[in-house]
A = this chain, B = another copy of it.
Amino acid sequence: MGYDYLSPEHMKTNERITIVGAGLVGCLLACYLGKRGYKVTVYEKRADRRKASSGAGRSINLACSDRGWQALDHVGLGDAVRKEAIAMRGRMLHSKQSELSFQPYGIGDEAIYSVSRGGLNSTLMEHAEKDFGVEFVFDMKCMDVDLENAKANFKHYGSKEIITVESDVILATDGAFSRVRGIMQHLNHFDYSQDYIDSDYKELNIPAAADGSHVLDKEALHIWPRGRYMMIALPNPDGSFTCTLFMPYEGEDSFEQLNSTEEVHRFFKEVFPDAYPLMPTLEEDWNANPQASLVIIRCHPWHYKGKVCLLGDASHAIVPFYGQGMNSGFEDVYVLDGMIDAYNGDWSKILPAFAKQRKPDADAIADLALYNYRVMADSVNDPGFLLRKKLEHRIMELYPEKYKSLYSMVTFSHIRYSEAQRRGHAQDQRFKAIIKEHDIEGHFADGTIDDFIHKNLNTLITT
């Protein structure tokens, strides 16, 4: 690795960049900018995660898909991450009667990959520091930012000392509750919204078998869809699965009602009958892990006069139901990097151009992710939805160059999210019309699906 990827024409060793927040997006961004020769310092409010225990309450594994891989590969880190990733080739649905059904995500080798958040974060940090000359300063909480002059104050948790950092550009990757955005919120004409969805989540665990093997199919993302709530499970390399229960925080079928360990046991036994016996630490996990909330953040504009810019969750936190939170943040970094070339290192042009291009895509994936909660929790049980999935899957097998479902565009392509949303909407209209016109009753007799596709090909694949 090392500096062999440097483009000397972009070497600006005199430019100092401050990154606020050493999460996934901040660390990847640090790699990109360090590689270009900028003098990059990352300030992180937590302790060095490589020395401390991993942060509780954050999702422990994540699904990395094509946008994430593209961004990692572009800076030469894809292979390092792939070593620890587990391919998930489709959804494995678990019914209340413990029946299993498998829906492939894509065609051929297409898969999404379960990666450990903590492991990935440490890997990125390590490479940023060792390969790309990035400096990390931990235990530093951002207190205030002088947006006009790209000066930031940080307070050290231990000494309580406040330092002022001057730089040419501040890039804020400090997450959904971004302090930098909190300061920008007071700017005139700054639009901002935070919307909590009705559901919270809690992480639980399915341990490995005694021999270290996975007790459920490890090549799938497991879903127990139950309408108003659902549980999912992603495989870990150590043979365990990390489960996440998503459910309303109040009202019918809610966390509020699961207010005793007896209730929790009764509930899991009843609604997740095949998972319950696999969760020996349910009670401990339930009590130890926080009930966390899910917020959608939108704001505009993301940048301030070529001096400060928000990226990742800081500018567009989304719900996790499309598996695109990290992927969209990584794609931000990839897009920003393209803008550095396009505008020859002139931040006064790079930041507005980046924000302008990326904002509609962030809005689109925010909407799609929210919509996918209903798909995952509910529609995956719907015969009409399953028919559509089956039809789309077969079209993609037959004509991989001519058709991509919305899911595939989001997950297995680099088509802009806003464009994927637009095409997906048009596909919806066409499929609805054709299914209605042909009065298809929920399934195809053997062999008839290909005939149907061939007959209606032009209508089905128009983009």
A190 cross-chain contacts in B, Cβ below 8 A: 194, 196
A195 to B194, CA, bound (A): 12
Nearest CB in chain B: distance from A384 CB, A: 31
A192 cross-chain contacts in B, Cβ below 8 A: 192-194
> Taking the complex as formed, is A293 at the interface, i.e. its CB lies under 8 A from any CB of chain B?
yes
Q: Considering the complex, which residues of chain A in the window 184-204 have a beta carbon less than 8 Å from any beta carbon of chain B? A: 185, 188-196
A293 to B189, CA, bound (A): 7
A195 cross-chain contacts in B, Cβ below 8 A: 191, 193
A189 to B254, CA, bound (A): 15
A293 to B190, CA, bound (A): 11
Q: Is the CB of A193 within 8 A of B196?
A: no
> Taking the complex as formed, is A354 at the interface, i.e. its CB lies under 8 A from any CB of chain B?
no
A249 to B187, CA, bound (A): 15
Question: How many copies of the shown chain assemble into the complex?
Answer: 2
Q: At the interface, is chain A mostly helix, strand, loop or mixed?
A: strand
In the complex, the chain B residue whose C-beta lies closest to that of A298 is B193
A189 to B189, CA, bound (A): 25
A222 to B314, CA, bound (A): 45
A194 cross-chain contacts in B, Cβ below 8 A: 185, 190-193
Chain A window 197-222, contacts with chain B (Cβ cutoff 8 Å), 1 for yes, 0 for no: 00000000000000000000000000
A189 cross-chain contacts in B, Cβ below 8 A: 196, 249, 293
A102 to B215, CA, bound (A): 78
A185 cross-chain contacts in B, Cβ below 8 A: 194
Nearest CB in chain B: distance from A196 CB, A: 5
A249 to B190, CA, bound (A): 13
Nearest CB in chain B: distance from A290 CB, A: 11
A189 to B196, CA, bound (A): 5
A249 to B189, CA, bound (A): 10
A193 cross-chain contacts in B, Cβ below 8 A: 191-195
Nearest CB in chain B: distance from A293 CB, A: 5
Inter-chain pairs besides A189-B196, A190-B194, 8 sampled, C-beta below 8 Å: A189-B249, A189-B293, A191-B193, A191-B194, A191-B195, A191-B196, A193-B194, A193-B195
